[in-house]
Structure 1
Amino acid sequence: MSGGGCIKCGHTETDRKEVAMTGTGLSKMFDIQHNQFIVIYCKKCGYSEFYNKKASMGSNILDLFFGG
């Protein structure tokens, strides 16, 4: 569905979470979680997309998720 909802199931309700992940090398060894992402996911099927928190804005993310 182009711009009509989740690309997997077409559902139009989403939610978001912020997550942090370790990188490689020393940051992984010392569990330094400096990579931050916003996850937008479909409330029906759980399909998820990750966006770099530093490079994205909230409304733009939803446009990208829905293909708008």
Structure 2
Amino acid sequence: MEYLNWQCPKCENSHYETDQLTATGGGFTKFFNVQSKKFTTVTCSKCRYTELYKEETSTLGNVLDFFGN
């Protein structure tokens, strides 16, 4: 994923790294360690400031994650 006009709000650098972060929700998903929340991270390569962007997760993906643990 590429952010063409991204600029760090802290240091105004335009170089960045992206990654993905998954997390459990609450209740059932937390108990069974199902990664039901998915985010893309954009991290400034200079000052390391990081922004999170929430992504959609699919039911099939959540089920496969459950059996993959």
**TM-score interval, smaller chain:** 0.5 to 0.7
Shift of 1:4: 7.4
Identity of aligned residues (%): 31
Considering only CA atoms, is the larger Rg found in Structure 1 or Structure 2?
2
> Root-mean-square deviation (CA), in Å?
1.6
- Is the 1:40–1:49 Cα contact (8 Å) retained in structure 2? yes
1:42 and 1:53 map into 2 onto residues whose CA distance is 20
What's the counterpart of residue 34 of structure 1? 36
Could you tell me the TM-score, scaled by structure 1's length? 0.67
- SS of aligned partner of 1:32: coil
1:11 and 1:52 map into 2 onto residues whose CA distance is 23
Which structure has the higher relative contact order (CA within 8 Å, separation 6+)?
Answer: 1
2:43 and 2:26 map into 1 onto residues whose CA distance is 26
Could you tell me the TM-score, scaled by structure 2's length? 0.66
Which consecutive unaligned segments of at least 5 residues does structure 2 have?
Answer: 57-69
Q: Which runs of structure 2 are paired with 1:1-68 in the superposition (5 Å)?
A: 5-54=7-56
